[in-house]
Amino acid sequence: MIKVVKAPAKINLTLDVVGKRGDGYHEVEMIMTTVDLADRIQLSLIKEDQINIEVNIGHVPNDKHNLAYQAAKVLKDRYSITSGVSINIDKHIPVSAGLAGGSTDAAAVLRGLNEMWSLGLSLEELAEIGLTIGSDVPFCVHGGTAIAKGRGETLTFIPTPPPCWIVLAKPSLGVSTKDIYQRLDLNKMKHPDTQGMKEAIETGDFSGICKKLENVMETATFELAPEVKNIKQRLIQFGAEGTVMSGSGPTVFSLTSSETKAYRLYNGLKGFMDDVFVVRLLGSRYQI
């Protein structure tokens, strides 16, 4: 049996760090939504008791370090599956970009194998299993738009923002999420207005959404990688209605209600960087 599952990227409309937990994780509060930039994952059931991974990009692990492998493994172990699966990942989401590429691949494998292995698990159960793989996996299991708290696993679903164009720009440099967390000073940072963003989304107030885009990690990422700040400034100069960094970066994105403006931004950036995408919001949550 063969099945192809789509694994969409997420962006952060807000990202706040509200505390440090006893277990070493940071307590976050963020609004995430899925966009139609997606990896394509082909799952093929095999008789052999093994998990094979194939990826079309050299620097993504093709072994147990791949989060898609870990998703298959956790289901196989928990439900004593004695056959196996070959996972072929066609990556389109830039890697280490703040777009949850690995987490969404893991989530797609959980959803796909739940069906193929007839496990009958709910999305809530898959999300709980996903949390053992990574903090962003529960959101990626559900998709849609949500406020995420705790490590990122306590989800409150909200409506999807009004339709708009999103221009994503990922500079080629890498940033380490760990280094960025270490530079955060919880007392000095300006916190996003998460409640205000939620209200703007609920009332479909596009200019309010653009005004409230905010990410507490920007300052630290900009210090470590000034090029990210330059890209944000360029997007603002090109006339985007709202611009912010996603996750711990380095991807920066702009929202605009105009397709013409979206392609103007795209063309303005494409001249000097490879990873620029014009995408749409995905909207609805997955259903089982």
Say which residue the tokens 């885009």 belong to.
213
* 131: contact with ligand ATP by CB under 6 A: no
Judge whether 33 and 157 are in contact, CB under 8 Å. Answer: no
* 19: contact with ligand ATP by CB under 6 A: no
For the question of residue 136 being annotated catalytic, the response is yes
Say which residue the tokens 């998460």 belong to.
194
For the CA atoms of the chain, what is the radius of gyration? 19
Q: How many Å apart are CA 255 and CA 244, to the nearest integer? A: 9
Q: How many Å apart are CA 50 and CA 45, to the nearest integer? A: 10
The site for ligand ATP, by CB under 6 A, has a size of 21
Q: Which of 16, 39, 105, 136 is catalytic?
A: 136
Q: How many Å apart are CA 138 and CA 97, to the nearest integer? A: 19
Decide whether 34 or 96 has the Cβ nearer to ligand ATP: 96
* 161: contact with ligand ATP by CB under 6 A: no
| Number of alpha carbons in the 13 Å side-chain half-sphere of residue 21 | 11
Q: Which of 10, 76, 91, 232 is catalytic?
A: 10
Q: Residue 136 is which amino acid?
A: D
* 100: contact with ligand ATP by CB under 6 A: yes
Decide whether 32 or 265 has the Cβ nearer to ligand ATP: 32
**What does DSSP assign to residue 115?**
H
Decide whether 136 or 241 has the Cβ nearer to ligand ATP: 136
Q: Which of 8, 102, 143, 192 binds ligand ATP (CB under 6 A)?
A: 102
Q: How many Å apart are CA 229 and CA 88, to the nearest integer? A: 35
- Choices 60-68, 74-82, 120-128, 230-238; region in contact with ligand ATP by CB under 6 A: 60-68
- Degrees to nearest 5, angle at CA 202 with 196 and 207: 65
Q: Which of 61, 159, 163, 226 binds ligand ATP (CB under 6 A)?
A: 61
How near is the Cβ of 239 to ligand ATP at its closest, in Å?
Answer: 27
- Choices 14-22, 66-74, 212-220, 266-274; region in contact with ligand ATP by CB under 6 A: 66-74
For the question of residue 190 being annotated catalytic, the response is no
**What does DSSP assign to residue 97?**
S
Positions marked active-site: 10, 136
In the complex, the residues that contact ligand ATP under the rule CB under 6 A are: 60-61, 65-68, 89, 95-103, 105, 136, 177, 247-248
